[in-house]
Amino acid sequence: MRCPGRSLGLPALPAVLQGLMQHAERWDVVKLSAVHRGTPQPYLEVAPAHFLAVMLSRCTGSSA
């Protein structure tokens, strides 16, 4: 999950991936997404303004 007004562009990607690897014991599968539909709940900040989140709603279609 990203904060409103920010995008997961190439400059942020290395920091996000490094943050995810530092906390690899906390996740099984990660989906990088900037979509805010549904109910993503921030769980862990992995890079400044970028969060590992839990989706509390069902994902369908190409976003699943």
What is the pLDDT confidence band of residue 1, given thresholds at 50, 70 and 90?
Answer: very low
CB 13 within 8 A of CB 48: no
CA pair distance 64, 20, nearest whole angstrom: 20
| Residue recorded with tokens 């990660």 | 30
Tokens of 3: 């904060």
pTM for the model stands at 0.69
Q: What is the mean pLDDT of the chain?
A: 80
User: At 13, which helix (H) or strand (E)?
Assistant: helix 13-22
Q: What is the pLDDT of residue 2?
A: 47
